[in-house]
Amino acid sequence: MSNIWFVGDSITYGYGCRPGYDYEYYNLTYKEGDKTWTKIIADYFKMEENDLSQVAGSNPYTLKTLITNLKNFKSGDVVVIGTSPSHGVLVPSTKYNKITSTNGLELKHLLPFPPERKKAIEDWREHHILPYEKLWDVHYIEAFKDISAELINRGVITIVWEYKLWKETEFETIITHTKGKIKDKTHFSWKGHKDFAEVIIPKIEKIKPCLI
């Protein structure tokens, strides 16, 4: 069985639709047969799902993940790469001896940084990223396309989709499905996952690389 690999942020991870701590939506709504969009696609193509995504992921984190796993992508595999809004950055974890990722929104809530470190990250984002977000988007898209070209040369089907696809399209979110009970305006509901999978599947079925 060939592998299908997914790399990206919490949209790819399926935040809210996995079991575990603080996954209120999953606990409230899951029923047999519900799947994240990555699982739907893997099952559709009868491939082994490998989800390398990261909650609060960022483009530099996704880029590093791709580089780390280049040795694992084999001819006949599929790699699906999702970009992220460019305000995400890499930061040193205060809990583990590793570099991790922050997309900004959770900075004030989850990352146990002292105030001066939080301010430094916020200042960097405010002055060096947000005013130039379109430039950063192009910067990372070009990097992902360059890696895709190498994978294509190895016989790996590679799809790159931009975050604008979900941000500018009306895929059902958790807040909509729960009628406001769970206030997550970003992440897909079960229906949102199904509908998003139906957008990505035809791109893979063409058996050629594309940018959507």
Number of domains the chain is built from: 1
Could you read off the pLDDT of 39-49 as tens digits, one per residue?
A: 999 999 999 99
Share of the chain above pLDDT 70, in %: 92
What is the predicted pLDDT for the residue at 10?
Answer: 92
Looking at residue 108, which CATH number applies to its domain?
3.40.50
**Tokens 């193509």 identify what position?**
45
User: Does residue 111 have a pLDDT over 60?
Assistant: no
- Please tell me the chain's helix, strand, coil percentages from 3-state DSSP, rounded to the nearest 5: 45, 15, 40
Q: Which domain holds residue 207?
A: 3-211
For the segment 91-100, the average pLDDT, to the nearest whole number, is 80
Could you read off the pLDDT of 23-40 as tens digits, one per residue?
A: 899 999 999 999 999 999
